[in-house]
């Protein structure tokens, strides 16, 4: 465990950075490249620890993957090219890796076992193991398939219709990946719209997927064809700098190459509703929309965030809580119970760590209530091994009156390995 001294209240933010590749899309580019036929070249791939775990797992499944500074090349040989792994598949800290891989492995006629780190060992897997069993896969795991280690003996799946009990893109994607290997059609119905990168990827790799409101249907037995992927910047990473730009005095920054998929832009709706001063320029559309965002120091007001907006900003809630400490009035975040089963219980970690810095914040059953505007004092805080908590606290330190130290900052490399170099580039006296 490393303790890091963070910058204190003496800087403004100025300049521009190019946001690194999207984590969700980077994972999927490897997975789809691996199950498609042919050579897939991925550029702007996120080399965070989570996505490297996905590469390591597919190499163990016999897929040749080359990685250098510019690109990743995946030599896919179709689903039948995957081979029974001789070793356990270790997903590290990555929920996306384990849940989506379970969907792929559910359709493969061989035995495999998945494990992860301590955090993964506490995260619920029944949400995927239950529907994958209903499709026909033989799956076991600790506590009846709720926790890792999880073993799968797949194959012989029969398509089905499944109503998701939680709004989760990971669960939806897992079932769709299994559905691509099932007899007949598989239909998933979501309670609210979640990120649709898997649906877009199926089409990008030459497959067919039917989307009708909240229901998504795939036909089993489709062969996917290799397709090059240029990964857009991750709006969930940009979020830390969007908030920093809005709350650090005398700031104006440009965040380049940010993915603007509407299923991910809840943070922009929140910034707008709070009164933040930002604009989107250079918008472009390939298989995912992208653009550059300019944000300036802003006067903010508290708002209520809940309902269908939550899945569109679920990973941004820790840094939105920080933003709310700098808004006049009360911000209520509700309908966000899912935060309890992220890399940490993010209701507890956000509330406890921001309280240590002097925030007026309280936990509720399904979110949190923040009263602003408060001057943050500073102190000793801890990421608890959660990358997004670590980055949120590093941004908080920019506006703290006193010195702030962060324990366990190394977790940040899970999704943003060059976070501190980007932050230092933007900081000016
Ligand atoms: C992800 C979906 C979300 C998100 C996670 C990435 C994905 O999780 O929190 O960081 O890539 O599908 P849930 O599907 O569990 O909400």
Task: Give 247-270 pLDDT, tens digit per residue.
Answer: 999 999 999 999 999 999 999 999
pLDDT surpassing 90 at residue 5: no
Residue 360 has a pLDDT of 98
Give the DSSP letter of residue 123.
Answer: S
Q: Does the annotation flag 24 for ligand binding?
A: yes
Task: Please say if the pLDDT value at position 361 is more than 70.
Answer: yes
Ligand 1 centroid–CA 34 distance in Å is 20
Whether 108 has a binding-site annotation, put simply, is no
Catalytic one among 90, 315, 335, 365? Answer: 315
Model confidence at 9, pLDDT cuts 50, 70, 90, reads low
Query: Do residues 387 and 369 touch, judged by C-beta distance below 8 A?
Result: no
Give the position, in ligand 1's atom list, of the atom nearest the Cα of 100: 12
pLDDT score at 1: 60
Checking if the pLDDT of 370 tops 70, the result is yes
Strands (E), 87-137: 89-90, 111-115
Query: Residue 168 annotated as binding?
Result: yes
Residues lining ligand 1, CB < 6 A? 24, 96, 168-170, 173, 195, 314-315, 338
The residues of the chain that CATH labels 3.65.10.10 are 2-21+232-428, 23-219
Q: Where are the beta strands (DSSP E) in 192-265?
A: 209-212, 215-219, 229-230, 252-259
Give CA–CA dist 187/219, Å, rounded: 9
Taking Cα atoms as reference points, which of 234, 259, 187 lies closest to residue 20? Answer: 234
Task: Please indicate if the annotation marks 7 as binding a ligand.
Answer: no
Average pLDDT, the chain: 97
What is the model's pLDDT at position 4? 73
Residues 6+ apart with CB under 8 A from 423: 241, 244, 394
Q: Is 308 a catalytic residue?
A: no
pLDDT at 150: 98
Calculate how far, in angstroms, residue 143's C-alpha sits from the geometric centre of ligand 1: 23
Helix, strand, coil shares, percent, the chain, to 5: 35, 30, 35
Domain with residues 2-21+232-428, CATH architecture: Alpha-beta prism (3.65)
Query: Does residue 10 have a pLDDT over 70?
Result: no
Does the domain at residues 23-219 carry the CATH identifier 3.65.10.10?
yes
pLDDT at 243: 98
Q: Is the pLDDT of residue 203 over 70?
A: yes
What was the pLDDT predicted at 7?
62
Angle at 366 between CA 382 and CA 341, to 5 degrees: 55
Which percentage of the chain shows pLDDT scores above 90?
A: 97
Smallest CA separation from ligand 1 atom 11, residue: 24
Mean predicted confidence (pLDDT) in 369-381: 96
Q: Which of 58-62, 89-93, 284-288, 339-343 is predicted least confidently? A: 284-288
pLDDT band with cut points at 50, 70 and 90 for residue 429? confident
pLDDT at position 107 over 70: yes
| Residue 38: pLDDT over 80 | yes
Tell the residue nearest (CA) to atom 9 of ligand 1. Answer: 315
Q: Indicate whether 8 pLDDT > 90.
A: no
Q: Where is 274: in which H helix or E strand?
A: helix 266-274
Statement: residue 188 has pLDDT above 90: yes
pTM, entire model: 0.98
Atom of ligand 1 nearest to the CA of 314: 9
Centre of ligand 1 to C-alpha 293, Å, is: 23
Over residues 334-349, the mean pLDDT reads: 98
Give, for ligand 1, the residue of 93, 95, 120 to mutate: max count of ligand atoms closer than 8 Å to Cβ. Answer: 95
**Calpha distance 383→411 (Å, rounded):** 7
Dihedral angle computed from the Cα positions of residues 13, 18, 23 and 28, in that order, rounded to the nearest 10 degrees: 160
Question: Whose alpha carbon is nearest atom 4 of ligand 1?
Answer: 315
Ligand 1 centre and the CA of 251: distance in Å? 31
- Is 95 annotated in a binding site? The answer is yes
């Amino acid at each position: 465990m490393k303790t890091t001294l963070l910058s204190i209240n003496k800087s403004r933010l100025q300049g521009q950075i190019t946001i690194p590749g999207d984590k969700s899309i980077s994972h999927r580019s490897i997975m789809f490249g691996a199950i498609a036929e042919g050579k897939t070249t991925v550029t702007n791939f996120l080399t965070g620890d989570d996505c490297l775990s996905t590469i390591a797992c597919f190499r163990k499944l016999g897929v040749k993957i080359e990685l250098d500074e510019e690109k990743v090349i995946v030599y896919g040989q179709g689903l039948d090219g995957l081979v029974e792994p001789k070793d356990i598949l270790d997903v590290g800290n990555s929920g996306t890796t384990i849940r989506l891989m379970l969907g792929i492995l559910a359709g493969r006629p061989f035995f495999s076992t998945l494990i992860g780190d301590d955090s993964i060992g506490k995260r619920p897997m029944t949400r995927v193991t239950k529907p994958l069993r209903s499709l026909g896969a033989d799956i076991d795991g600790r506590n009846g398939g709720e926790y890792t280690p999880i073993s799968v003996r797949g194959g012989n799946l029969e398509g089905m219709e499944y109503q998701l009990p939680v709004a989760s893109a990971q669960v939806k994607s897992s079932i769709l990946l299994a559905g691509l290997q099932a007899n007949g059609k598989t239909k998933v119905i979501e309670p609210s719209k979640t990120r649709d990168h898997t649906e877009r990827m199926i089409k990008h790799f030459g497959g067919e997927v039917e989307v009708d409101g909240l229901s998504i249907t795939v036909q089993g037995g489709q062969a996917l064809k290799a397709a090059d992927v240029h990964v857009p910047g991750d709006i969930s990473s940009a979020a830390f700098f969007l908030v920093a730009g809005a709350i650090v005095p005398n700031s104006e920054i440009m965040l380049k190459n940010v993915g603007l998929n509407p299923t991910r832009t809840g943070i922009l709706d929140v910034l707008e509703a709070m009164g933040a001063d930002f604009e989107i320029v250079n918008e472009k559309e390939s298989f995912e929309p992208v653009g550059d965002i300019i944000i300036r120091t802003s006067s903010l007001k508290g708002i209520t965030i809940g309902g269908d907006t939550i899945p569109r900003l679920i990973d941004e809630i820790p840094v939105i809580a920080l933003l709310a400490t700098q808004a006049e009035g009360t911000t209520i975040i509700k309908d966000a119970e899912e935060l309890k089963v992220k890399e940490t219980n993010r209701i507890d970690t956000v509330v406890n760590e921001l309280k240590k810095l002097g925030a007026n914040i309280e936990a509720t059953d399904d979110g949190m209530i923040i009263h602003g505007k408060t001057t943050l004092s500073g102190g000793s805080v801890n990421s608890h091994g959660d990358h997004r908590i670590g980055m949120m606290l590093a941004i908080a330190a920019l506006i703290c009156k006193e010195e702030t130290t962060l324990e366990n900052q190394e977790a940040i490399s899970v999704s943003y390995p060059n976070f501190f170099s980007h932050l230092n580039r933007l900081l000016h006296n």
